[in-house]
Amino acid sequence: MELLHLSNYTISNHYELCSMPPYCVVEFIDETYDGQSVVDIIPTCWMTEEQNECFWPSGRNVTKAVKDRQKPEESWPKYSIRVLGWA
């Protein structure tokens, strides 16, 4: 998987995205689990400006990061997504 340097991800971008509905339901385009599409809820601020990719934390505290709407870290990988809805 590709790692992204957040050189184009600014504080203003983060807060602009976070002013949208707090969460969105996304399908991970290139990911499957047991042959099924992977769908999850993510904080809106994890999406790129184009809303076709998102950052995803590594490690075991994903649920806490989602609940806290944690700001993406430079070490997080980026995945292709399709937005299915907003929450």
33-60: pLDDT as tens digits: 999 999 999 999 999 999 999 999 988 8
pLDDT for residue 18 is more than 70: no
pLDDT for residue 10 is more than 80: no
Number of domains in the chain: 1
pLDDT for residue 13 is more than 90: no
- Show the domain range for 23: 6-86
> Does the residue 34 lie in any domain?
yes
> Does the residue 43 lie in any domain?
yes
> Does the residue 12 lie in any domain?
yes
Tokens standing for residue 59: 């490690």
Cα–Cα distance, 34 to 23 (Å, whole number):
25
Instruction: Tell me the torsion sign for CA atoms 8, 62, 44, 56.
Output: positive
Cut 0.85: pTM above it: no
In the block, which residue shows the tokens 């809303």? 51
> Does the residue 1 lie in any domain?
no
pLDDT, average across residues 72-83 = 95
